[in-house]
Structure 1
């Protein structure tokens, strides 16, 4: 993570974040107008990975209520440092089963549920923590070409079975589906087509699970395509926080 700013820098950083948030808000608003959707139907999740807890606190002060992380070793201490802020924490990265207990301590939603073993681990951790965790099934369109890689996800034809596993698990709640625009396969370079397919999967899922209404899709580069395709939540990092420093 980048170092915590000095007190002298805090006002400047807050102004920078406010300006960036305003630009992202304009993009979401314009995308909603173009798609004939209401602005309140799309929730902004700010992805704060690699940035310090001080930025998270500034964002909370600017009205952000949803933040996301993708690495537990960074997220856990950051969530603890911001425990008094009115935030909903989303975990969006590929999750190892041995990290489930830690993530269950702070994450309100996990967007990256992609296998039965993870469902089992999260369920046990949620029960121990006496919490209910919202789960999104991560759909990997790359998987159709046999290439999922580090990003994880389940192939589209595995969504139904995994959704049933989440629904049957104690301490978990099925909230919807998530995807990342694929890098390989027939939909590579076509984020809107991928997001349209995610909407179709969501519609099918809701026939059996009406409460699973979340469609998490779109990031800084493709949020407009996601909004047009029906995303209910967009995950925006660099457009709000700036270009990410390289991880050492």
Structure 2
């Protein structure tokens, strides 16, 4: 099948930007004195499935999406590719049944009702593996209601609930550094929360933190997974 016009130019563009991001990660890992680099999740929201296919050709294995309708369509179109799909956006309970059909991990679990919905959805699905779930932590006590994330004091109870729900696997924590705050300080707080979780649940070792603007601080604080979009794919296309 012939490639669409512009495909080769887009492949070169993505290859270059991907290498620049990987080099940033390598340098940050070395500066932090870490032995291993964190995994790169390329956030592909609003970009077409054709971009995700090119990224897979370039060695990307983890992709992130934050809207179920878009993610479900891409996952179905690209089901033959060896990709792990990470749902990273706020998730309504009525979308749980759809998300468990394609997601390998949900990074945004922040309330008991969502744990229950995901557990029921996995139980009713044909999945043959547990769904990795990360507790999204709200690091900004001044955040407006509805922004998502469990407060730090809510994390232990939510973690226990996740760990005890059949079909779900407590995988770790996720957070976004608050606007206007030093990311290093925010991610240090997240690292402390992650350590407390791991003492109680040793297998919950994922720390999803760091985006384009603060990946170095996230790596220094021990992030195991970075969520990078714009620096790999460029500006988001306009959504009509």
TM-score normalized with structure 1 length: 0.92
Give the equivalent residue in structure 2 for 1:242.
234
Give the equivalent residue in structure 2 for 1:3.
none
Question: In the TM superposition, what is the alpha-carbon distance from 1:203 to its structure 2 partner?
Answer: 0.5
Report matched runs for 1:161-240 at 5 Å: 161-183=157-179, 188-240=180-232
1:75 aligns with 2:75: no
> Is the contact made by 1:140 and 1:148 (CA closer than 8 Å) also made in structure 2?
no
Report matched runs for 1:141-180 at 5 Å: 141-142=139-140, 144-145=141-142, 147-180=143-176
1:28 aligns with 2:25: yes
Question: In the TM superposition, what is the alpha-carbon distance from 1:36 to its structure 2 partner?
Answer: 0.3
CA distance in 1, matches of 2:172, 2:161: 13
1:13 aligns with 2:10: yes
CA distance in 1, matches of 2:37, 2:144: 30
Runs of 4+ displaced beyond 4 Å: none
Question: In the TM superposition, what is the alpha-carbon distance from 1:182 to its structure 2 partner?
Answer: 1.2
CA distance in 2, matches of 1:106, 1:36: 36
Give the equivalent residue in structure 2 for 1:140.
138
Q: CA RMSD in A?
A: 1.1
TM-score normalized with structure 2 length: 0.95
Which whole-Å deviations, capped at 9, do the CAs of 1:151-173 have from their partners, x for residues lacking one?
31000000000001101111100
Q: How many residues align?
A: 236
CA distance in 2, matches of 1:107, 1:155: 25
> Is the contact made by 2:26 and 2:37 (CA closer than 8 Å) also made in structure 1?
no
Report matched runs for 1:57-96 at 5 Å: 57-96=53-92
Which whole-Å deviations, capped at 9, do the CAs of 1:67-87 have from their partners, x for residues lacking one?
000000111001100100000
- List gaps (5 residues or longer) in structure 1: 1-5
- List gaps (5 residues or longer) in structure 2: none
Q: Per residue, is there more helix in 1 or in 2?
A: 1
* Equivalent position SS for 1:202: helix
CA distance in 2, matches of 1:73, 1:152: 19
